[in-house]
A and B are shown apart, each in its own frame.
Chain A
Amino acid sequence: MNIHEYQGKAILKSFGVRVQEGIVAENPEQAVEAAKKLKQDYNSDWVVIKAQIHAGGRGKGGGVKLAKNLEEVKQRAEQIIGMQLVTPQTGPEGKLVSKVLVTQDVYYPGETETKEFYVSVLLNRSTGRNIVMYSTEGGMDIEEVAEHTPHLIFKEEIDPKVGLQGFQARKIAFNLGLSGEAFKEMVKFITALYKAYEATDSSMFEINPVLKTSDNKILAVDAKVNLDENALFRHADYAAMRDLSEEDPTEVEASKSNLNYVKLDGNVGCMVNGAGLAMATMDIIKLAGGEPANFLDVGGTANAETVKAGFNIILSDPNVRAILINIFGGIVRCDRVAQGVIDAYKEIGNIPVPIIVRLQGTNAEEAKKLIDESGLKVYSAIQLKEAAALVTKVLAD
């Protein structure tokens, strides 16, 4: 589960990780108040106004702005709050900004140069262990660093028996070229960061940049925190941080019916039991000359209710020109699913697009008979190949 920067920073701070301080504002007046408080508490003359959306690349889209006085704070906040922010990660339609984080300026001049680093914590799937990944090239897109200067990216694997050890934190700080006070600060930073990662059941931390300030403090300027959804049952406080306005409304609706739905851009909707078969069905649609309009896994309990909810969700997408239902009955009985399709069809009334139903496995023959005799405009198939041919056919009609 993704959370906002301000939420991620609050979590980090609660584990002793130093962060760039900030205050959330939902309108320009609150932003001005926040700036005054940051001046008072941290003597920050300038502030940075940062759009709070669940996507990276906010600066490139104009969602991060420096303000040098209260008049500028008001202006910038007016610009950013309510804007449709487009970044490389939001898609062309962008995302509505309803909150900003007003933060202290941490790039103030001082005795030494400031320096930006990159630090992330994540699972190395091939070893089944967590790693701290870090680089001297902070503030940049890490994918670009990996492509052009891979030797500047370092990895430290953590032994799950003992967790991150002191020597590892020191190695990281040394590899980042630090010494003196900044070195000690980095060791503390990394140690606290890893502790937070473990304690919060996170699936990724990405801190980019980690800043060494001109007075040798180490702090997180940004915080991308991704929590393991499977572990939220033991973190009710973090589960409450979920921001539904950041998610696709149809996907939120689907999850209420226990359907696993992901909206895509194509013209053929699909409803499938099982995630692997659902992905394979999307591939079939493509090979048959269509483009999948969604991923939809109805899980192990496909019945009239779930089928109806699935229909409604798929049909809410105006691009859908056909629907392919692909169920491999195991525990799920095909005749029941077929009856569910017929009932849902009758209840919804006139479904404006052709429907192809492919039911295979337990009671598949009975299911096909039910569909064929229902008198509804539904194409039925038993073999996957037949279903694919039907997709091609209805798209050509």
Chain B
Amino acid sequence: MSVLVNKDSKVIVQGFTGNEGTYHASQMIEYGTQLVGGVTPGKGGQTHLDKPVFNTVKDAVEKTGADVSIIFVPPAFAADAIMEAAEAGIKVIVCITEGIPTKDMILVKEYISNRDCRLIGPNCPGIITADESKIGIMPGFIFKKGTVGVVSKSGTLTYEAVDQVVKAGLGITTAVGIGGDPIIGTTTKEAVELLMNDPETHGIIMIGEIGGGMEAEAALWIKENGTKPVVGFIAGQTAPPGRRMGHAGAIVGGADDTAAAKMKIMRECGIRVVESPAEIGAAMAEELSK
């Protein structure tokens, strides 16, 4: 099982022949991801990393049967790339690109809202199902197969949590990096819901940060529907109000999107919230041994 992607996922790379696309595509192939080709407009017909290059996503889908795409296209063209993937029938679209204008993402969200696809990101590390398929930029070697699902807005903080989980003797089913932008395709709640419904996942780690109301929304859903232990952490307890902390969405606006407010509501909904990011793995191990 696992969620969204597995060893049967057929993956293409948009922005395949660029520096980042090339590097991460080869890393994904090495991990064992079933990478079936890539798209770079104007380079259709060529071969890159022993895989076919196509001019359009539609061509790639028709020729390879791809159902997942990962996007490494520069910010100015990334919105277009997402919509192209959606239109071509890709089911899971993972957008790594950081710095897409918000106006573009408003239109993308609208465009994909009535299409049968799921967007992960943008501005995210991607998604990985341990030992099966890596569709992202995360260091694959730290992900060992196990029973813990991870949902996170941040890249390196996800790796931190995963590493702790593995060191605690557990492992990972699927880790979803949902991204740190104000508008993202898959929310914390949606990712938690997928993991909650996955029989292989026994516990869920939910990592959030200051800004927005997604963690609260997820917490309320968990309170009503949760069947597994959830460990939570919110980064930015020491962040001053009104300042953007790296991620475009990480800015404390009103009183509800501070770390303290989010942690409070998560606790009230039955989530085991840790104060220190160094305690995530141990807390999960403890919850699962109960």
Fill in one digit per residue for A158-170: 1 if any B CB lies within 8 Å of its CB, else 0. Answer: 0011000000000
A283-B106 contact, Cβ under 8 Å, with A123-B183, A274-B155, A331-B137? no
Contact with A along B38-52 (1 / 0, CB 8 A): 000000000000000
Complex interface: stretch among B6-14, B83-91, B195-203, B242-250: B242-250
B245 touches A279 (CB 8 A): yes
Produce 1/0 per residue, A280-319, CB < 8 A to B: 1111111100011001010000000000000000000000
Is A362 close to B, CB under 8 A?
yes
Q: Given A280-B235, A328-B159, A330-B156, do A128 and B106 touch, yes or no (CB 8 Å)?
A: yes
B26, chain A: closest CB distance, angstroms: 12
Chain B residue with Cβ nearest A388: B278
Q: Which of B186-221 contact A (CB under 8 A)?
A: 207, 209-210, 212-213, 217
Cβ-closest chain B residue relative to A126 = B213
A interface footprint on B162-183 (CB within 8 Å = 1, 0 otherwise): 0110000000000000001011
- Cβ–Cβ < 8 Å partners of A283 in chain B: 235-238, 259, 275-277
Contact of B103 among A231, A277, A360 (CB under 8 A): A231
Contacts known (A276-B157, A328-B156, A330-B156); A233 close to B76, Cβ less than 8 A: yes
B275 touches A201 (CB 8 A): no
List, in ascending order, chain B residues with CB within 8 A of A234's CB: 76, 101
In the bound complex, do residue B155 and residue A128 qualify as a contact, i.e. CB atoms below 8 Å apart?
Answer: no
Q: Give the bracket for the number of chain B residues in contact with chain A.
A: 35 or more
The one of B23, B154, B276 in contact with A274, judged by C-beta atoms closer than 8 angstroms, is: B154
| Closest chain B residue, CB of each to CB of A265 | B240
Kindly report which residue of chain B lies nearest to residue A198, judged by CB atoms.
B103
In whole angstroms, how far apart are the Cα atoms of A160 and B237 in the complex? 34
Q: Inside 8 A of A7's CB, which chain B residues have their CB?
A: none
Of residues 111 through 165 on chain B, the ones whose CB sits less than 8 Å from some CB of chain A are: 137-139, 141-142, 152-160, 163-164
How far apart sit A229 and B159, CA to CA, in the bound complex (Å)? Answer: 28
- Report the Cα distance A361→B278, complex, angstroms: 15
- In this complex, what residue of B is CB-closest to A361? B139
A231, B238: Cα distance in complex, Å? 29
Q: Considering only CB atoms, which chain B residue lies closest to A383 in the complex?
A: B278
Contacts of B138 in A (CB 8 A): 330
A262 to B252, CA, bound (A): 14
B100 at the binding interface (Cβ < 8 Å): yes
**Distance of A277 Cα from B236 Cα, bound (Å):** 9
Give residues of chain A (375-391) contacting chain B, Cβ–Cβ below 8 Å: 383-385, 388
From B106, B137, B217, residue with most partner A Cβ within 10 Å: B106
Please give the distance in Å from B161's CB to the nearest CB on chain A.
Answer: 10
B54 within 8 A of A: no
Q: How far is the CA of A295 from the CA of B275 in the complex (A)?
A: 18
- A203-B102, A330-B156, A361-B139 known; A128 and B236 CB under 8 Å? no
CA of A160 to CA of B259 in the docked complex: distance in angstroms? 31
Q: Is B275 a contact of A282 with CB atoms below 8 Å?
A: no
The answer to whether B109 has its CB under 8 Å from any CB of chain A is yes
A130 to B182, CA, bound (A): 12
The distance from the CB of A192 to the nearest CB of chain B, in whole angstroms, is: 18
Q: How many residues of A contact B (CB 8 A)?
A: 54
Whether, in the assembled complex, A273 has its beta carbon less than 8 Å from a beta carbon of chain B, the answer is: yes
Per the bound structure, the CA–CA distance linking A198 and B106 in Å amounts to: 11
Q: Are B246 and A201 in contact (CB under 8 A)?
A: no
Taking chain A's interface residues, is the majority helix, strand, or loop, or is none over half, making it mixed? mixed
A361 touches B142 (CB 8 A): yes
Q: How far is the CB of A204 from chain B (nearest CB, A)?
A: 10
Contact flag A385-B102 (CB < 8 Å), given A230-B75, A262-B245, A295-B239: no
Q: Mark B245-285, 1 if CB is under 8 A from A, else 0.
A: 11111100010000100000000000000011110000000
Residues of B within 8 A of A360 (CB): 160, 163
Complex Cα distance, B138 from A330, in Å, reads: 6
Query: Is B213's CB under 8 angstroms from A125's CB?
Result: yes
Chain A residues contacting B245 (CB-CB under 8 Å) are: 262, 275, 278-279, 295
Bound state CA distance, A260 and B99, in angstroms?
14
A215 in the interface (beta carbon within 8 A): no
CB pair A228–B102 under 8 Å, yes or no, is yes
Interface centre among B107, B159, B259 (most CB of A within 10 A): B159
B152 touches A276 (CB 8 A): yes
Q: How many Å lie between the Cα of A360 and that of B163 in the bound state? A: 9
Q: Is B233 an interface residue (CB 8 A)?
A: yes
Q: Does A129 contact B (CB under 8 A)?
A: yes
- A297–B98 Cα distance when bound, in Å, is 14
Minimum CB–CB distance for B124 against chain A, Å: 11
Closest residue on chain B to residue A273 by CB atoms: B156
Residues of chain A in range 201-240 having any CB-CB distance to chain B below 8 Å:
201, 203, 228-231, 233-234
Q: Does A329 reach chain B (CB closer than 8 Å)?
A: yes
Q: A264: CB under 8 A from chain B?
A: yes
Roughly how many angstroms separate A161 CA and B75 CA in the complex, as a whole number?
Answer: 22
Contact A292-B238, Cβ < 8 Å, known A275-B154, A276-B157, A360-B163 = yes
Q: How far is the CA of A119 from the CA of B201 in the complex (A)?
A: 47
B105 within 8 A of partner (CB): yes
Q: Does B110 contact A (CB under 8 A)?
A: yes
- Which residues of chain B are near A123, meaning CB under 8 Å? 102, 106, 182-183
Are B277 and A384 closer than 8 Å at their CB atoms?
A: yes
* Chain A minimum-CB-distance residue to B109: A128
Interface string of B48-62 (1 = CB under 8 A from A): 000000000000000
Residues of chain A within 8 A (CB-CB) of B104 are: 231
B157 pairs with A274, CB closer than 8 A: yes
A358 → chain B, closest Cβ, in Å? 10
Given known pairs A275-B180, A279-B236, A328-B156, the reply for A125 and B103 (CB within 8 Å) is: no
In the complex, the answer to whether A276 meets B235 with C-beta atoms within 8 Å is yes
In whole angstroms, what is the CA distance A328 to B142 when docked?
11
Q: What are the 8 tightest A-B residue pairs by CB atom distance, in nearest-first order?
A: A276-B154, A275-B246, A274-B156, A330-B139, A231-B101, A276-B157, A279-B235, A277-B156
7 further A-B contacts with Cβ under 8 Å, apart from A231-B102, A277-B155, A362-B139, are: A125-B212, A130-B106, A275-B245, A278-B246, A283-B259, A283-B275, A287-B276
